[in-house]
Amino acid sequence: MEILIKASQFILSLSFLIVLHELGHFIPAKIFKTRVEKFYLFFDYKFSLLKKKIGDTEYGIGWIPLGGYVKISGMIDESMDTEQMKQPAQPWEFRSKPAWQRLIIMLGGVIVNFILGILIYIMITFVWGIDFVKPDAVINGFAVHETFEEFGFKDGDKITKFNGEVPLDVTDVNKHLFLRGITSLDVIHEDGSEETLSIPEDIGSIMWEKGVMEPFSARTIPIVDTVVVGSPAEKFGILKNDRIIAVNNTPVSYWQEFSELASKATEKELTLDVERDGVIKSISIVPNEDKTIGVSNYQQRGFTIDHKDYSFLESISKGNSLAIWTLKDYITQFKYVFTKKGATSIGGFIAIGNIFPSTWSWKSFWGITAFLSIMLGFMNLLPIPALDGGHVVFTLYEMITGRKPNDKFLEYAQITGFILLIALLLLANGNDIVKLFSN
């Protein structure tokens, strides 16, 4: 059922985004009296699931759910209809239109993506408001990864400022460190002393290379709320609501301490002392190969959440800000794709589908859809032939130089870009399959 819910949200979101993106091309094409031969959700290689011709345009749903397209007369696109290009240009064809009109037609899809992302964020802010965690709402302070202990941070630190400013949501610290150039954090240590600690400018790269994407996590009480079916924890008798008080005779006060001790243990067996209904029990467990035993405490947040509602006018400003920062963050992290580690981190349809929650939530659905809309807008602007950005580059070249690339060059460029995209698609989904079976 969880898989069905995730898949349903993914397909609905993807279909919504594809149709609106293609409308971004379709509408200006019609305005400039350019013939649109096909408007398709998904690809229709060899056959369509549904189709209906209205006027000059065939509307349909293909059987290959890898995107969608509009086929515009007189344009070298993913349809690779080179026969049409051998005929004399007709006034209703894309190639007969002025360069500025062709540029608008090609930019229409990404413009719709960006505007849609902004509008959804405005709607989310107005309808649901914003949840946030104040610096003083992290009850037991943060657990600190050992990498950050080198910079002076300690377990139990309470973070009060990012770069000298009080954050709206202090739990965004990991994201801000990775993407937004934090160079200092103000903290209050457990002993009550206050300190401003400096952070290297390349901290994002350090986090990426070391795989430390969450150096700060709110400390939580070590109470088990989930026991995975078939796991060592279930096999050896760990129950929900057990409170772990020691690992191999070492006392623990927080879940992060338990996790660290369990992951670093060299013994084949872990001995856990747990408190159950006021009684202390000692349980020996043989962990999995990755040192996990199959328990979690996701429901123990370690902080309290505040909420703020926004008027419609306030939502416009806040929604724009959320959209702009989403785009900035995505562009910042995009550079990591070109690292050796980045190649294995690229995800395909399974990875995107797993972003959606396992229970239906309209707030989450629209939040993820807004993110995907902005992501698709940026990706389609990349100067790769076969993407909108590739067509835009060729059109801008023509406008600047006064020389139009010949059709044969555009055809070869389209084929090259298509092969590149297929290779990236295979890599991304191949990574998904490898991760699926390795897990």
The CATH number given to whatever domain includes residue 262 is: 2.30.42.10
Specify whether 159 is located in the same domain as 108. no
Last residue of a domain, one of 188, 217, 246: 217
Specify whether 151 is located in the same domain as 212. yes
Whether 61 is covered by a domain: the verdict is yes
Q: Is 60 helix (H, G, I), strand (E, B) or coil?
A: strand
Dihedral pair phi/psi, residue 353, rounded to 5°: -60, -35
Whether 399 is covered by a domain: the verdict is yes
Last residue of a domain, one of 169, 186, 217: 217
Exposed / middle / buried, residue 177 (Cβ in 10 Å: 0-12, 13-18, 19+)? buried
Token pair of 293 as six digits:
């035993």
CB neighbourhood size of 222 (10 A): 25
Q: Which domain holds residue 395?
A: 17-117+384-438
Whether 179 is covered by a domain: the verdict is yes
Whether 156 is covered by a domain: the verdict is yes
| Alpha-carbon span 131 to 324, nearest angstrom | 19
On whether the CB atoms of residues 222 and 262 are closer than 8 A, the answer is no
Specify whether 159 is located in the same domain as 234. no
Task: Please state the pTM of the whole predicted model.
Answer: 0.87
Q: Is the dihedral of CA 131, 133, 138, 139 positive or negative?
A: negative
Specify whether 26 is located in the same domain as 105. yes
Specify whether 255 is located in the same domain as 288. yes
State how far Cα 54 lies from the chain centre.
Answer: 37
| Alpha-carbon span 222 to 242, nearest angstrom | 8
Specify whether 31 is located in the same domain as 112. yes
Task: Report helix angle 99-128 to 312-334, nearest 10.
Answer: 120
DSSP 63-111: EEEEEEEEEETT---TT--HHHHTSPP-TTSGGGS-HHHHHHHHHHHHH
Total number of domains constituting the chain: 3
Q: 59 has which bridge partners?
A: 39, 52
Specify whether 213 is located in the same domain as 231. no
Burial track 406-428 (b if 16+ CB lie within 10 A, e otherwise): eeeebeebbeebbeebeeeeeeb
Specify whether 109 is located in the same domain as 143. no
Whether 88 is covered by a domain: the verdict is yes
In the Cβ-directed half-sphere of 123, how many Cα atoms lie within 13 Å? 14
Specify whether 29 is located in the same domain as 111. yes
Each residue's pLDDT expressed in tens, for the chain with a length of 439 residues: 778 888 899 889 999 999 999 999 999 999 999 999 999 998 888 888 888 999 889 999 998 877 888 999 988 765 555 666 667 778 888 888 999 999 999 999 999 999 999 999 999 999 999 999 999 999 999 999 999 999 999 999 999 999 999 999 999 999 999 999 899 999 999 999 999 999 999 999 999 989 899 999 999 999 999 898 999 999 999 999 999 999 999 999 999 999 989 888 888 888 999 999 999 999 999 988 888 899 988 777 889 999 999 999 999 999 999 999 999 999 998 888 877 777 677 777 777 888 888 888 999 999 999 999 999 999 999 988 878 898 899 899 889 998 888 777 777 887 787 788 777 777 776 766 776 666 5
DSSP summary character for residue 165: B
| pLDDT value, residue 42 | 86
| pLDDT value, residue 178 | 95
Whether 333 is covered by a domain: the verdict is no
Last residue of a domain, one of 193, 217, 241: 217
Exposed / middle / buried, residue 132 (Cβ in 10 Å: 0-12, 13-18, 19+)? middle
Strand order in the sheet with 243-247: 250-251, 243-247, 270-276, 279-285
Specify whether 244 is located in the same domain as 188. no
Cα Rg of the chain (Å, integer): 27
Burial track 183-215 (b if 16+ CB lie within 10 A, e otherwise): eebbbbbeeeeeeeeebeeebbebbbeeebeeb
Specify whether 113 is located in the same domain as 149. no
| pLDDT value, residue 200 | 94
Whether 260 is covered by a domain: the verdict is yes
Which residue is associated with the tokens 């350090």? Answer: 206
On whether the CB atoms of residues 365 and 102 are closer than 8 A, the answer is no
Dihedral pair phi/psi, residue 226, rounded to 5°: -140, 130
Specify whether 390 is located in the same domain as 411. yes
Amino acid present at 164: G
State how far Cα 235 lies from the chain centre.
Answer: 35
Whether 270 is covered by a domain: the verdict is yes
On whether the CB atoms of residues 273 and 201 are closer than 8 A, the answer is no
Q: What is the CATH number of the domain that holds 171?
A: 2.30.42
